[in-house]
Structure 1
Amino acid sequence: MGQVNDNKIKYTNYCIATFAKQYKMSLLEAFNYLDRYGGLTFLDECYEAEHLLSIEDAIHDLVVICKNNGGELK
């Protein structure tokens, strides 16, 4: 596996864990939510730009993407 792919996986895992903590979800719930509403696809496709932002900005972007795709957070 290439270094970029390894870094992308680590970054995605970090985003999922941070999202889960912020929204008081389990890791599985956060993963499923992000998968269902396009957040994981967004992280994959926009990794080159997103990983340069703060984690707070990345989580905000995930929330916007998921809400635009029908996701609602409590």
Structure 2
Amino acid sequence: MSRLTKNKIDYFVVCVNDFADMYGMSYVEAFDYLKKHKGLAFLSEHYDIEHTYSVEETIADLKQVCERNGGRAA
């Protein structure tokens, strides 16, 4: 596995876990929610930029993306 792939996986785990904690979800619920409402696709597509932001900023971006795609986390 390449270093970039490992870094992306680690980053996804942090984002999913922090999203879950912020919105009172289990980690599985957060993963499913982010997948269903295109949050994970957003993270993958914009990893190069998003990983330079704070986790709090990324969580806010994920919330917006998911809301634009039918989600209601908060």
Point out where structure 1 has 5 or more consecutive residues left out of the alignment.
none
TM-score, with structure 1 as normaliser: 0.97
Which amino acid is 1:50 matched to?
Answer: E
Q: How much is the aligned-residue C-alpha RMSD, in angstroms?
A: 0.6
Counting matched residue pairs gives 74
Percent identity, please: 45
In 1, the alpha carbon distance for the partners of 2:59 and 2:53 equals: 10
Report runs of 4+ in structure 1 exceeding 6 Å deviation. none
1:73 to partner: Cα distance: 1.9
Q: Which residue is 1:13 aligned to?
A: 13
TM-score (norm 2): 0.97
Unaligned 5+ runs, structure 2? none
